[in-house]
Structure 1
Amino acid sequence: MILFPSLMAYLVLALFSLYLIYKDKEIQKERAFDRYSVALDSINNIIGGRYVGRYTTIQAIALDSTLQQINNPTQITILLERYRKATQSELILYVDRNGKYIASSTELSDGTKADLNLIRGKNFSNRDWFKNVVKGNFTEDITNGLIGTYSNDFQIDPLTTELYGKDKVTLAFTAAVKDKFGNILGVITTRTAVLWLENELKGTFRSLEKSGAHSPEIILVNSKGKTIVNLNIKTIDKDNNYIRDMEVILKQNLLLEKFEPVKQILEGKTGDGEYYSEKNKKIMLVSYSPINSNRFLRSLNWGIITMDPADDVFMKINRFAFISYVIISILLLVAVIIVLKFTASLTKNFNFLSDKLRKSSIQSEETSQNLKKSFTLVAETVQNQTKSITDTNQIMKALTSMISQTTDNANECSNISTHVKKEISEGNMIMEKLANAVAEIRETNKELMQISEMIDQISTKTNVINEIVSKTELLSLNASIEAARAGEQGKGFAVVAEEVGQLAKTSGKTASEIRMLIESGKKQVNEIISATKNRLEVGQAASDVAQKIFHEISHEINELQSRTENIKEATKEQKIGISQVASAMSHIDKSTEKNNSETQKAAQASEQVHHQSDELFQIMTAIRVLVHGAKTKIINSGENRK
């Protein structure tokens, strides 16, 4: 309890110290960004002023009347060398309107004579700067008043590289030389080295160092992210000379290195922040801005970056922070030692009392746990017994219900068998009637056979009639013949003979029709007799089988009815026995419930003993808290108790 407030006090002190360090860092960062912002504004103005001067200077040179004297190259050469020195250029070249060499400056920037044979006699009409000027395609910014000059970005110029015998990074400015009528006489171009930018930026670099920057760095980049100028403590010696690193100029591409400020510049944004530099392998404090002076050709899209390593900017603060951490740690250690020594004497006395209470608590806990386990076991046993008895009661009820249902089913079966027996008796009577009906049909069939015989007799008589008719016709024919022989005396007999012949024919026809009807009727009667005979035989056989089956079913129904009566008697006796068992199980269930109630009361008493043991243990734990003052001690005590 003493150590914890002390630790909290030191923790608050440490956090407050960290907050002060953080605020100091933010102040230092803001100051650094303010320095860089001033430097960026200065560089913007300087580059804008110098650029517009060189942009307009080439136009001023082009207006010199000496250049119109194309036939006097000596005077033009002297003029161009004078302008080269005045502008600190690498080369000034003058060609005619066809691109043919006229004159150029004669000395190099280091003061040595230039070997003009390398460029004299050449034709430059295929060069971009010549073609654009002749066509009037100038690099202009009308808003800022930059008109009439063709300018390209810094590049390794092939013209000066050939003349100097090594790579030369230059910025070209080109203008047209015209006569008084505005006709183009030639084209003049100047190659300006990066030296004029480097000299201007050196002054800003030294100003940053004087204002408190530790290891400042100034980088000028072009529209592709390539480095034009890189000033840092490694590229400027003690004599303030710039050591140009040609492995960096126009070869180091910060955009490809994914240096975020370059990307922001190319998007036209100005800002500052902390960024990781792949080139320096560290976090840098960076301010950046595009060259946005109104005296600069903004289409070039140059940008300026000023930065300083964050570790160097925060060097003093980091050293102070380290010392503060060490002092706070030492003070905290001393405080802990003092508190521990102070509490050691109290701990010894409390430990003795705590141990006694702990032993008593453990014994009470063990006793209560044993009682609790015993009563829990008994309660579980009683509960299981109660559950078993309840299940048995349910089973007995189910059995009683099933036996009642069986009794009902047996009664129903008895009723059904009685009804079936009655129906079978009626069926036997019907079968007997059916047998009698079959016998009567057989008698009827015999009568039909007699009718058939009578039809045969009628058919015989009909044949006799047919023979009589045939003979009558013959007699009629003979009578007609005889009447014809008699002449007039036989005419009356001829008429009679003719009539008798007609009656014989009619009788013969009728006898034939009767014979046909008799034959048809006889045929149908014979078919009926045959069909009836077959059906009588099938019906007789089926009737005999049915009578036999009905007799067997009647016998089995009598047997089923006897057994059903036996089942009814047995079911009544089972129902009485199960009712007695259910009554006994009900008494056992009541006794078990009473035992369960008593067991629960005993378990509650055991739980009270357990709570009393817990209270005793809590008292002991509180003493241990006072002694040890750590929550981990309470947890360890709880584990020991378990």
Structure 2
Amino acid sequence: MSFKSLRFKLIAMVFAGFIPIILGLLLYVFPTYENFFVEQKKVEIKTGVDIVIGMLSELEDQVKNGHMTKEQAIADARKMFGKIRYGDSDYFFAYDNKGVGMAHGLKPELVGVDRSNSKDPNGKNYMQDFITIANAKSDGYVDYQFERKKGQEPEDKISYVKFYEPWGWLIGTGVYISAIQEQINETKVKIFSGLAIIIAIALGFSMTFSIRLSKTLADLSNDLQSEANHVDEVAKKISSISESLSSSTTQQASALQQTSSSIEETSAMIERNASNARQSIEISHQSQNSVNVGKDSINRMMGSIRDIARSNEEIINQIDESNKEIENIVRVINEIGDKTKVINDIVFQTKLLSFNASVEAARAGEQGKGFAVVAEEVGNLATMSGRSANEITEMLDRSIQLVESTIKNSKEKISKLVADGEQKVKSGTGIAEECLNVFNQIVGDVNKVSDMVEEISTASTEQSNGVREINLAVTELDSVAQQNSTMSQDTATTAEQLKAQVISLKRMTHHLNKTVNG
């Protein structure tokens, strides 16, 4: 396999793609995972201590409940420490706040031993750190070295301790850093093994793909060579067609110019029609305004006639009121006449009394002469009163006849005048209404004519726009014809260029074969 072949390049690209992954694992993923794993182990040993303290709390509850003594509970706790294990061989331990061993899962012989001065090979008194945490009644982590197995060199260890106040014990457990590193290394081996398998699969796939791709490209190269020959023949045919297209385009351009000239003349005629239609619309609008003015005048005239009719009605009502007042006067005169008749009756009675008085005075003789004179004077006075009353009666009768005649003549004349006025008002109103109806019909006709003229104007405008669009289309066709002529020339040029590209394509297929096969 040549180093310049496509297959080698693909395999090299696969290897290059895995390099960033490997660097990421070494520089970021693994360090991050180690820190995370250590913190996870710290959480595990803390959880284990909490579980043990929970067990001690159960024993303490049994002591409080009287189910066992404190000594029995401590003995059970030490047995429990000797049995509890987690991980490979990790255990739990307990000391009091003075460093004396209270329980130990790996070395029960340390129970009761004072280890307050215990130091690791580096001289660190880790037990004092335990005592400090116990005295503070707190919890915490302590780093130190301790032998992993009996007879082995001490190794780095991290322990977690927590003070259990009811018993005064400091409960703790630890994990060796080497054990953590072993698990981390095991994980790394698994990751690298999986990555190696993935790389092997990728290489196998890339080998298969490169073989198929090489064969495909080789076939493609042969096809391109065949197509290059075909394109060369097509270029020759295009050159011939472009010459025919150029001739046809020239003839088409000449015909389009003649069509464009005819359309321009038609457009000018339509534009004149549209202008005339617009003038007609203006005249129609003016006529419509004039008719509306006439219509308004007739409406005002009809309003005036109606006002005259109302005035006549008011005059008639006023005359009726006056006649009623005159009738009241006649009625008063009649009442005066009736009173005058009463006076006549009184005069008659007075004359009768005077006559009777004269008769009685005559019978009395000399003694009744004075009374006879008085009776005669009273009779004379009654005669004068009767004569005056008759004259008043005659005057009242003549006044009544004159007033009644006047009222009758006034009513007849006024009735005739009112009838004539009403007839003339009705006639004027009818004529005005006929004029109004004629004007309304004229307005309707003018509106129809205006609408028709506007429709003609709109149609002329649309025709003008349509002719303008046709003219534009013809202009575009002329432009397209010119473009076709130019394109035919460009096509001939392109055919020549295509021939040159065919030669270049043949060189490219040769280069492709060389790239695939090396």
TM-score by length of 1: 0.30
TM-score by length of 2: 0.35
Select the structure that is richer in helix. 2
Structure number with the bigger relative contact order (C-alpha 8 A, sep ≥ 6) is 2
